[in-house]
Amino acid sequence: MDSEQRVADAMGRRLSERIRNLFGRSLHIRHVDAGSCNGCELELHTLMNPYYDIHRLGIFITTSPRHADMLLVTGPVTRNMQPALLTTYQAMPSPKLVVAAGVCACTGGLYNVHTYAAATGLEPFLPVDVVIPGCPPSPLALIQGIMLALDRVDQKVKGGTIELRASNGSRPIRGGHDG
């Protein structure tokens, strides 16, 4: 068990090194709006203004999937946009990363009910590397999510189970959000 853990750690380190070498210096993002309400797009566009300025981090938004390293998807993936999304993903050269921005891309968000648009999030269609919750995620949250995909920051949130006493005392067993 311990040797398995060591192998897993070594593989993890090699993978993050590889990611850092491949994408660490410059990242080109292809953004696809898969039926979004455009709230997430507004937050994404603020990343390119001088206040947040992701260009100084080496991150650029590109319009061609052939040039892209990362696919950033917003919106709950409506039925109309599914073929376009899959074509975009197939047009991107490997290695590539996929980020789901906003709760719509995570789980369908507000639209995760039975509608004609069949919008239930990105996970049934593409392998997702990072999910960024938020409705919409603030620009700093988007920066944190993109950096997490590049392995330049650590993941802060960790779910889990908190066991409670019925009489309102608390005794956390494991996990929990640390803010």
Partner 1 sequence: MRAWMLRGLRTGIVATKYPRTRPDTASRTVPRIDPTLLQRADCVRLAEVCPTAALSCLAEPAETKLVLDYGKCICCGLCAEGVSAAVTMSHDFELAAHDRRDLRTEYVFREADRGQ
Partner residues linked to 32 by β-bridges: 73
Q: If binding is defined by CB under 8 A, does position 110 make contact with partner 1? A: yes
Site string for partner 1, 127-156 (x = CB under 8 A): -xxxxxxxx-xx-xx-xxx--x------xx
Q: Torsion over CA of 117, 141, 12 and 87, rounded to 10 degrees?
A: 30
**Three-class secondary structure of residue 102 per DSSP:** coil
Q: Which of residues 65-84 bind partner 1 (CB under 8 A)?
A: none
Site string for partner 1, 18-57 (x = CB under 8 A): --------------------------------xxxx--x-
- Residue 169 near partner 1 by CB under 8 A: yes
Name the residue nearer to partner 1 (CB basis): 64 or 138.
138
Please, what is the minimum distance in Å from the beta carbon of residue 56 to partner 1?
Answer: 6
The residue type found at 127 is P
Return d(Cα 31, Cα 146) in angstroms, integer. Answer: 12
Q: Please say which residue, 41 or 129, places its beta carbon nearer to partner 1.
A: 129
**Whether 141 contacts 157, CB under 8 Å:** no
Which CB sits closer to partner 1, 83 or 179? 179
- The H-or-E segment that residue 9 falls in is helix 2-23
Rounded CA Rg of the chain: 18
Q: Could you give the CA distance from residue 45 to residue 173 in angstroms, rounded to a whole number?
A: 41
Binding-site ranges for partner 1 (CB under 8 A): 50-53, 56, 103, 106-107, 109-110, 112, 123, 128-135, 137-138, 140-141, 143-145, 148, 155-170, 172, 175-177, 179
